[in-house]
Amino acid sequence: ELKVEQNPLFLSMQEGKNYTIYCNYSTTSDRLYWYRQDPGKSLESLFVLLSNGAVKQEGRLMASLDTKARLSTLHITAAVHDLSATYFCAVDGGGTGNQFYFGTGTSLTVIP
């Protein structure tokens, strides 16, 4: 059974601080995705990581992928209130249909 685990599940941080969200998965996969979800909304794509060692940055967020460790990280730099949301990682299960399996989610609250 494929497992995708994130930690922490809940994160409360002050504005201006840095933090990292971790995503561990149990299958061999070279594709890892990060999404943001606001309350009552669907998913917003943040990053698509397609190979070992991939690193992508957008604004205050940076994502990386280590396929050998089966680990991806989402690093938040100098957090601002607008980053408050739930963040999900998703792994391509490697099947013929490119099924995605989502992590448990990290609910981030940035306190002014």
Partner 1 sequence: GAVVSQHPSRVICKSGTSVKIECRSLDFQATTMFWYRQFPKQSLMLMATSNEGSKATYEQGVEKDKFLINHASLTLSTLTVTSAHPEDSSFYICSATLQGYEQYFGPGTRLTVT
> Which residues bind to partner 1, rule: CB under 8 A?
31, 33, 35, 40-43, 45, 48, 50, 88, 90, 92, 97-105
| Cβ nearer to partner 1, comparing 76 with 91 | 91
Least separation in angstroms between CB 31 and partner 1? 6
**Contact present, 106 and 21 (Cβ < 8 Å):** yes
Q: Which is nearer to partner 1, 36 or 77 (CB)?
A: 36
Measured CA to CA in angstroms, residue 110 lies from 58, 92, 99, 104 at distances of 18, 29, 32, 19
Query: What is the token pair recorded at 78?
Result: 């100098």
Closest to partner 1 by CB, 35 or 76? 35
97 secondary structure, DSSP code: T
